[in-house]
Homo-oligomer: A and B are copies of this chain.
Amino acid sequence: MAQEKEATGAIEWRIKMADGSSESLAPTEARGCPDIAWLALKGLVVGLVMKVCDFLKKAWDLGHKEPIKVTHGVKVGMALTAVSLFYYMRPLYEGVGGNAMWAVMTVVVVFENTVGATLSKSINRICGTLLAGFLAIGIHWIADRSGKDFEPFIIAFSVFLLASAATFSRFIPSVKARFDYGAMIFILTFSLVSVSGYRVDELFDLATQRMSTIIIGTCLCIVITMIICPIWAGEQLHTLITGNMDKLANSLDGCVADYFNDSGDFAGSDKESDKKLLGYKCVLGSKATEESMANFARWEPAHGRFNFRHPWKQYLKIGASMRNCAYCIEALNGCVSSENKVSELTKTHISNTAIKVSSDSSMVIKELARTMKTMKKSSAIDLLVGEMNNSVLKLQEDLKSLPKLFINPQPPLQEPESPGNNNKTKAEAAAVALMDIIPLVTLTSLLVEIVARIEGMVSAVQELAKLAEFKAVGDRKANQNQTTNKVIPDQSALQRV
């Protein structure tokens, strides 16, 4: 049959669909060239259309989920149209070789998603251009004086030296974090001015014009980015950290509760609890985002509730302490869902206290999130931490009383035995008991470790409260009244537990 296929020269066209499925057109008897070409073209077009549709669907989903990104696109479009029309309409416009280009280029390159990033790039661009311009004019002047023979060598050597040094400097962490773009613009401007054949006095005129267009471009960007739906890197960092805290609290809660309620059977867990468990994974993977946002936030002026010198670096420490905690939750999640099953008797013995510890811990985390959201010192945090520590002690006590449960009730249930063998049997019972409770012991140890790491989070947030001068709250009631609706469910959770 396979040979037959080959013999008839039938060709099987497979169109790789964008979604991974493949459509197999039925093998056809030997056809003419135009037919084959037509089929090939058809397959290609269908494949392409599918890919484009898929891409558009993805784009639509993204736009629907994060309209802020669509807004950014529209803002860039507006800025570019404004600067284009400005230069297009000007009577003294001199074509693309003129200055318009620099304004357009500035807008395209400098306009970033957040205010901080735009400001950082604008300032970098202006400073880099200025510094490189002056330096290049100085070297041009020296090269001019040293005669026609030496000029190319001086210029080539200076370009080589400064470009190498500036490129290398971009690897130094402190430069990379704040002046990466500035160093690039420095190299660009220096090389451009150096290779230009202009005389020094001409260069000054040119430099003034270019600087003015760059400043027009950056100002336009800064005004548009700050006035129309501004996206502040600081605000985003703040939201990211507090949101991650809530996720962390929920996944800790969910992980322990699921273990005790569903008898460790994770196969039947629905989407809701899966989402909860995914919470800590967001914390694990957010380091790079936090760092870049903190870098940009440092460039931003005072906005909303944040002052100019808001301690953004402290947010990174809070993020690190959260990740520390998330590592343990990840290990906990792995250990409790492993195969080693625990009898229901022992589980129920310890479940209440363990759930109490996890809910107390998540209460502490949620209180920290609330402290950051309201930017007011929490009066309840010490109480909650104390309660959490008490629960941990209680959990350890409960664990200590577990062996009684086994050694006392179990021997009477076993078959009658000789008194001499008694000791050995009991040891075996204890051994069985130990194997039985290993997951519980591990869970307890990890919960103890998680509680210790939550205390690290508490001190990091308290440090932030000190640095950012959070206001103290007089009494608890006032605090409750001031908190938003979003926070109230957590309060009811406190009463429920």
Binding site for B on A (CB under 8 A): 55, 58-59, 62-63, 66, 69-70, 72-74, 76-78, 80-81, 84-85, 87-89, 93, 95-98, 100-101, 104-105, 108-109, 152, 155-156, 159-161, 163-169, 171-172, 174, 184, 187-188, 191-198, 206, 284-285, 287-288, 324, 327-328, 330-332, 334-335, 338, 340, 396, 399-404, 407-408, 423, 426-427, 430-431, 433-435, 438-439, 441-442, 444-446, 448-449, 452-453
Q: Are A195 and B96 in contact (CB under 8 A)?
A: yes
A157 to B, closest residue via Cβ? B81
- A sample of 11 more A-B contacts (CB under 8 A), given A73-B163, A84-B155, A95-B196, is A55-B172, A80-B160, A88-B195, A96-B206, A97-B98, A324-B330, A331-B449, A404-B427, A407-B427, A408-B423, A441-B441
Q: In whole angstroms, how far apart are the Cα atoms of A168 and B448 in the complex?
A: 46
A196: B residues at CB distance < 8 A: 95-96
Q: In whole angstroms, how far apart are the Cα atoms of A93 and B152 in the complex?
A: 14
Q: Are A88 and B442 in contact (CB under 8 A)?
A: no
Q: Are B431 and A84 in contact (CB under 8 A)?
A: no
Do A399 and B434 contact each other (CB < 8 Å), given the known contacts A84-B159, A160-B81, A164-B76?
yes
Q: Are A165 and B80 in contact (CB under 8 A)?
A: no
Q: Are B331 and A73 in contact (CB under 8 A)?
A: no
Q: Are B446 and A335 in contact (CB under 8 A)?
A: yes
Q: Are A104 and B453 in contact (CB under 8 A)?
A: no
Q: In whole angstroms, how far apart are the Cα atoms of A89 and B155 in the complex?
A: 12
Do A96 and B335 contact each other (CB < 8 Å), given the known contacts A62-B171, A442-B441?
no
A194: B residues at CB distance < 8 A: 84
Q: Are B449 and A159 in contact (CB under 8 A)?
A: no
A169: B residues at CB distance < 8 A: 59
Q: Are B438 and A444 in contact (CB under 8 A)?
A: yes
A408: B residues at CB distance < 8 A: 423, 427
Do A96 and B192 contact each other (CB < 8 Å), given the known contacts A331-B328, A442-B442?
yes
Q: Are B62 and A172 in contact (CB under 8 A)?
A: yes
Q: In whole angstroms, how far apart are the Cα atoms of A444 and B174 in the complex?
A: 43
User: Could you write out 8 A-B pairs with CB less than 8 Å apart?
Assistant: A62-B172, A73-B163, A84-B155, A93-B197, A95-B196, A284-B327, A335-B449, A338-B448
A73: B residues at CB distance < 8 A: 163-168
A292 to B, closest residue via Cβ? B288
- 10 closest pairs, A vs B, by CB? A77-B164, A73-B168, A331-B331, A442-B445, A96-B196, A403-B430, A97-B97, A288-B288, A77-B160, A73-B164
Q: Among A155, A287, A442, which residue has the most Cβ atoms of chain B within 10 A?
A: A442
A434: B residues at CB distance < 8 A: 399-400, 402-403, 434, 441
A76: B residues at CB distance < 8 A: 163-164, 167, 187
A405 to B, closest residue via Cβ? B427
Do A59 and B407 contact each other (CB < 8 Å), given the known contacts A287-B285, A331-B328, A449-B334?
no
A453: B residues at CB distance < 8 A: 334
Q: In whole angstroms, how far apart are the Cα atoms of A44 and B460 in the complex?
A: 34
- In whole Å, how far is A207's beta carbon from the nearest beta carbon of chain B? 11
Q: In whole angstroms, how far apart are the Cα atoms of A101 and B334 in the complex?
A: 58
A66: B residues at CB distance < 8 A: 171
Identify which of B81, B401, B438 contacts A163 (C-beta below 8 A). Answer: B81
Q: Are A72 and B109 in contact (CB under 8 A)?
A: no
Q: In whole angstroms, how far apart are the Cα atoms of A88 and B59 in the complex?
A: 46
A198: B residues at CB distance < 8 A: 95-96
- In whole Å, how far is A375's beta carbon from the nearest beta carbon of chain B? 29
Q: Among A169, A195, A287, A338, which residue has the most Cβ atoms of chain B within 10 A?
A: A195
Q: Are B400 and A431 in contact (CB under 8 A)?
A: yes
A332 to B, closest residue via Cβ? B331
Identify which of B55, B161, B399 contacts A77 (C-beta below 8 A). Answer: B161
A160: B residues at CB distance < 8 A: 77-78, 80-81
A88: B residues at CB distance < 8 A: 152, 155, 195, 197
- In whole Å, how far is A354's beta carbon from the nearest beta carbon of chain B? 14
Q: Are B442 and A168 in contact (CB under 8 A)?
A: no
- In whole Å, how far is A100's beta carbon from the nearest beta carbon of chain B? 6
A96: B residues at CB distance < 8 A: 192-193, 195-198, 206
A435: B residues at CB distance < 8 A: 396, 399-400
